[in-house]
Amino acid sequence: MLAVDRRYGLPEGTLAGTAFHPDHLLPAITGRVTDEEWRAGVSAALAGSVWWWISS
């Protein structure tokens, strides 16, 4: 995951921290959301965090 962070110029740990944050991970591992929904939620959260990081 660090390679993805580096490839896109993100602070190290951004992808992992977002994907495995309890708000995203717990619904996925308990079956409350599908894998597709989990990925979409992580993508949306990353888009928001990257926008904030770029504009700050």
Q: Mean pLDDT, 10 residues at a time, over the chain (56 residues)? A: 89 94 95 96 86 54
pTM: 0.79
Q: What is the pLDDT of residue 9?
A: 85
Residue 8 φ then ψ, to 5° = -100, 10
Q: What is the pLDDT of residue 48?
A: 84
Q: What is the pLDDT of residue 52?
A: 55
DSSP string, 4-46: HHHHTTPPTTHHHHHHTSHHHHHHHHTTSS-HHHHHHHHHHHH
Residue 1: CA count within 13 A, CB half-sphere:
10
Do the beta carbons of residue 12 and residue 5 sit within 8 Å? yes
